[in-house]
């Protein structure tokens, strides 16, 4: 059982990296675009990264719960329960709030004809920033709980 638990921990860590990495970098990628064609390309790249991140996020919950099933004392630890709760909150938040706003941005650039990034995109993107930072804060909180286990 120890080997299975160790394997689950390894899968869980890999899934966390796969899930968190693209999330933490997507804004950097999108903000580096200088014109509309670069922005469209950046959005395509971020979409592909988000697909990989989704696989990571989907893997995290079952591996975490399986580790708790193997080692039930985890469910009596505040850091573990809090991490699961924050994970659920983040998953819903990113899908409902951030996902819908990103979809709006993506649709906006699909319809543009000129090579300049539309002002409306810049405005909506800047309005998305605080929501995005809150999502990142949730992820960092989960990571800190997992690493330091307070």
Q: Give the residue numbers spanning the domain of 84.
A: 2-145
Q: Helix, strand or coil for residue 26?
A: helix
Question: Has residue 150 been placed in a domain?
Answer: no
pLDDT value of position 22: 85
**What is the percent of the chain with per-residue pLDDT over 70, rounded to a whole number?**
100
pLDDT surpasses 90 at 125: yes
Which tens digits make up the pLDDT trace of 47-57?
999 898 999 99
Prediction pTM value? 0.87
CA 61, distance to chain mean position in Å, is 14
DSSP tag of 16: H
The answer to whether the beta carbons of residues 38 and 96 sit under 8 Å apart is: no
How far is Cα 138 from Cα 107, in angstroms, rounded to an integer? 27
Which helix (H) or strand (E) covers residue 22, if one does?
helix 2-31
**What is the percent of the chain with per-residue pLDDT over 90, rounded to a whole number?**
79
Which residues, at least 6 apart from 77, have a Cβ–Cβ distance to it below 8 Å? 149
Question: Has residue 113 been placed in a domain?
Answer: yes
Query: How many domains does one find in the chain?
Result: 1
Which tens digits make up the pLDDT trace of 75-86?
999 999 999 999
Question: Has residue 74 been placed in a domain?
Answer: yes
């Amino acid at each position: 059982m120890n080997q299975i638990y160790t394997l689950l921990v390894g899968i869980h860590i890999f899934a966390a990296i796969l899930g968190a990495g693209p999330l933490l970098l997507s804004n950097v990628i999108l903000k580096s675009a200088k014109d509309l064609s670069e922005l469209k390309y950046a959005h395509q790249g971020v979409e592909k990264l988000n697909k990989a991140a989704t696989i990571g996020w989907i893997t995290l919950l079952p591996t975490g719960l399986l580790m708790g099933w193997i080692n039930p004392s985890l469910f009596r630890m505040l850091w573990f329960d809090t991490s699961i709760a924050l994970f659920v909150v983040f998953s819903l938040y990113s899908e409902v709030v951030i996902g819908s706003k990103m979809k709006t941005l993506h649709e906006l650039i699909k319809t543009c004809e000129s090579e300049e990034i539309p002002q409306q995109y810049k405005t909506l993107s800047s309005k998305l920033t605080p929501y995005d930072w809150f999502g990142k804060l949730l992820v960092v909180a989960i990571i800190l709980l997992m690493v330091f286990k307070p």
